[in-house]
């Protein structure tokens, strides 16, 4: 039965990886895989020789001697435990996505366009790289990429040049997401799973992530494509934005940044702070939208598009539910493998077979090479299940350097291929970027940045 479950997982994983070839949204195989894995566990509960206790991170003693009722009860409790852990991540993401959509409802991101006041290509490259690095740390790398490429499309008219900018935005956004607990789904998973704390995460990863962004941008600034100035058409895009756009942008970003502070003060799970932030932003959104619905001609015209919705309802209708369902499917499917002790056994065999490269992780028996390969792997296959699997494989304590290295590798390694990260996939869709074009023109820059950051991490971890 274990073989059947592993086979279902591998086939589902393959379907997720080949999403673009199969033309099937990755949430479908993720949900099917999750349901079948748990169904097979329920049907074959009598045949399994071991069971993994996630709370103690060890195999449960005496499992083979349990009665069928006890085994079924244990399975239901384990399922509920994993659903609770997964729900913490999903509710957190729902809150963050809704705040971002509320900012967008008031056209808040148009404020960022006003930061670009130059026509010099290299200066614009640095502006977008730095904006991607900072924004992705606050509103996550996927959303930062969407926002910045939307602005890029209004500023850069030449498609050939724009593709290069988009490639560097992907690298910078993934680098920015790695050092913040709210910047990338995988980092958020490690943070909510009590593997990393905000202070240590920033301390360990800020310099490596910065180098991962700065070095590719610096090299790119010498490329012929970034020489000279942009050809711009004056007088375009002077669309009136809401008078509250800047206010809502800063309020929304401040509300998201407040979440780690709330967690540190109260020690409550992060989703509680995110719900508080969402509530505060929603209050201001409702107040401001009511002032828009006045009888004056300008306000009536401004509010026409949203006349049938409150900002919160409108924003909730715009959030990406397919991503939420995908995370539900993949995290619960990985939980199935974890519960049977498969991941635990795999981790042990991996630690025995891999050579130890560094000295810092000797006590853990985990090789730096394993974590670097995880980064390379995240470029080929989705980094969410890779990190979910590592949570089940390794038992190191909170803020162990292993978890921070995993956060860096999984977060930034995906930049090496366009399909390797959510930021890359969304940029691919928005700009119709060809897989092989990215492989030839951008991947080497991402690899150089990734390795430079990894080398910097090996230095910064010695400081803690």
| Digit-coded pLDDT (tens) for 120-168 | 889 999 999 999 999 999 888 888 888 898 888 888 888 888 999 999 9
For 310-326, write each residue's pLDDT tens digit: 888 888 888 878 888 88
Supply φ then ψ for residue 344, to 5 degrees: -60, -45
**Most trustworthy range by pLDDT among 292-306, 362-376, 386-400:** 386-400
User: Do 125 and 228 meet the contact criterion of CB atoms below 8 Å apart?
Assistant: no
User: Quick one: tokens of 197?
Assistant: 């704390």
Rounded to whole angstroms, the Cα distance separating 395 from 374 reads 17
pLDDT computed for residue 146 by the predictor: 85
User: Quick one: tokens of 456?
Assistant: 């910097």
Rounded to whole angstroms, the Cα distance separating 229 from 232 reads 9
Question: Angle at Cα 27 formed by Cα 276 and Cα 393, nearest 5°?
Answer: 80
Asked whether residue 360 carries a pLDDT value surpassing 70, the answer given is: no
Asked whether residue 429 carries a pLDDT value surpassing 90, the answer given is: no
pLDDT computed for residue 232 by the predictor: 57
CB atoms within 10 A of CB 114: 9
pLDDT computed for residue 350 by the predictor: 63
Asked whether residue 234 carries a pLDDT value surpassing 50, the answer given is: no
pLDDT computed for residue 459 by the predictor: 85
pLDDT computed for residue 354 by the predictor: 58
- Strand (E) or helix (H) holding 58: strand 58-59
pLDDT computed for residue 283 by the predictor: 93
Asked whether residue 239 carries a pLDDT value surpassing 70, the answer given is: no
Average pLDDT of span 221-249: 73
pLDDT band for position 299 (cuts 50, 70, 90): very low
Asked whether residue 361 carries a pLDDT value surpassing 50, the answer given is: no
Asked whether residue 430 carries a pLDDT value surpassing 50, the answer given is: yes
Asked whether residue 296 carries a pLDDT value surpassing 80, the answer given is: no
User: Do 216 and 448 meet the contact criterion of CB atoms below 8 Å apart?
Assistant: yes
For 73-109, write each residue's pLDDT tens digit: 889 999 998 899 889 888 988 888 899 889 888 888 8
Supply φ then ψ for residue 338, to 5 degrees: -65, -45
Average pLDDT of span 362-381: 72
Radius of gyration in angstroms for the set of CA atoms belonging to the chain, rounded to a whole number:
23
pLDDT computed for residue 442 by the predictor: 92
List b or e across 148-182, with b for residues whose CB sees 16 or more CB atoms inside 10 angstroms. bbebbeebbeeeebbbbbbbbbbbbbbbbbbbbbb
pLDDT computed for residue 464 by the predictor: 64
User: Do 319 and 31 meet the contact criterion of CB atoms below 8 Å apart?
Assistant: no
Asked whether residue 364 carries a pLDDT value surpassing 50, the answer given is: no
pLDDT computed for residue 323 by the predictor: 80
Average pLDDT, the chain: 83
For 244-256, write each residue's pLDDT tens digit: 888 888 999 899 8
Greater pLDDT, 422 or 340: 340
Question: Where do we find the tokens 């002077």?
Answer: 238
pLDDT band for position 366 (cuts 50, 70, 90): low
Rounded to whole angstroms, the Cα distance separating 355 from 352 reads 8
pLDDT computed for residue 301 by the predictor: 46
Considering the entire predicted model, what is its pTM? 0.77
Tell how far CA 41 is from the center of its chain. Answer: 29
pLDDT computed for residue 243 by the predictor: 80
pLDDT computed for residue 294 by the predictor: 43
Asked whether residue 118 carries a pLDDT value surpassing 50, the answer given is: yes
User: Closest Cα to residue 112, out of 145, 140, 161?
Assistant: 145
Asked whether residue 18 carries a pLDDT value surpassing 60, the answer given is: yes
pLDDT computed for residue 293 by the predictor: 46
Greater pLDDT, 217 or 238: 217
For 39-52, write each residue's pLDDT tens digit: 999 998 888 888 88
Rounded to whole angstroms, the Cα distance separating 312 from 279 reads 10
């Amino acid at each position: 039965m274990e073989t059947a479950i592993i086979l279902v997982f591998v086939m589902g994983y393959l379907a997720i990886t080949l999403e673009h070839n199969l033309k099937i949204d990755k949430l479908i195989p993720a949900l099917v895989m999750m349901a079948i894995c748990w169904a097979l566990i329920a049907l074959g509960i009598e045949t399994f020789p071991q069971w993994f206790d996630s709370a103690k991170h060890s195999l449960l003693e005496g499992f083979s001697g349990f009665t069928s009722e006890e085994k079924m009860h244990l399975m239901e409790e384990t399922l509920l435990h994993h659903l609770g852990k997964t729900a913490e991540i999903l509710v957190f993401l729902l809150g963050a996505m809704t705040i971002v959509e509320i900012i967008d409802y008031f056209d808040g991101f148009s404020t960022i366009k006003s930061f670009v006041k130059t026509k010099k290509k290299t200066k614009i490259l640095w502006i977008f790289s730095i904006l991607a690095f900072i924004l992705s740390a606050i509103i996550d790398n996927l959303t930062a990429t969407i926002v910045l490429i939307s602005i890029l499309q209004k500023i850069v008219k030449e498609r050939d040049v724009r593709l290069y900018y988009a490639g560097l935005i992907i690298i910078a956004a993934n680098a920015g997401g790695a050092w913040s607990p709210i910047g990338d789904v995988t980092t958020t998973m490690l943070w909510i799973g009590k593997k990393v704390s905000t202070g240590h995460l920033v301390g360990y990863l800020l310099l490596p992530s910065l180098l991962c962004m700065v070095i590719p941008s610096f090299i790119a600034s010498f490329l012929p494509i970034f020489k000279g100035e942009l050809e711009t058409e004056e007088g375009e895009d002077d669309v009136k934005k809401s008078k509250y756009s800047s206010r809502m942008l800063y309020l929304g970003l401040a509300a998201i940044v407040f979440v780690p502070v709330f967690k540190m003060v109260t020690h409550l799970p992060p989703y509680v702070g995110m719900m508080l932030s969402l509530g505060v932003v929603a209050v201001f959104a409702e107040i401001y939208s009511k002032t828009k619905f006045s009888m004056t001609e300008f306000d009536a015209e401004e509010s026409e598009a949203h006349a049938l919705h409150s900002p919160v309802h409108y924003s909730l209708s715009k959030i990406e539910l397919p991503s939420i369902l995908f995370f539900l499917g993949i995290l619960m499917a990985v939980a199935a493998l974890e519960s049977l002790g498969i991941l635990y056994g795999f981790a042990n065999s991996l630690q025995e077979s891999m050579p130890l490269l560094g000295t810092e992780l000797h006590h853990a028996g985990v090789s730096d090479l394993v974590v670097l390969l995880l980064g390379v792997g995240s470029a080929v296959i989705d980094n969410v299940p890779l990190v979910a699997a590592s949570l089940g494989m390794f038992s190191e304590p909170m803020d162990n350097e292993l978890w921070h290295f995993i956060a860096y590798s999984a977060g930034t390694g995906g930049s090496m291929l366009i399909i390797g990260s959510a930021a890359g996939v969304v940029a691919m869709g928005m700009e119709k970027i060809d897989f092989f074009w990215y492989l030839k023109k951008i991947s080497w820059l991402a690899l150089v940045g990734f390795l430079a950051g990894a080398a910097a991490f090996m230095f910064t971890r010695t400081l803690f």
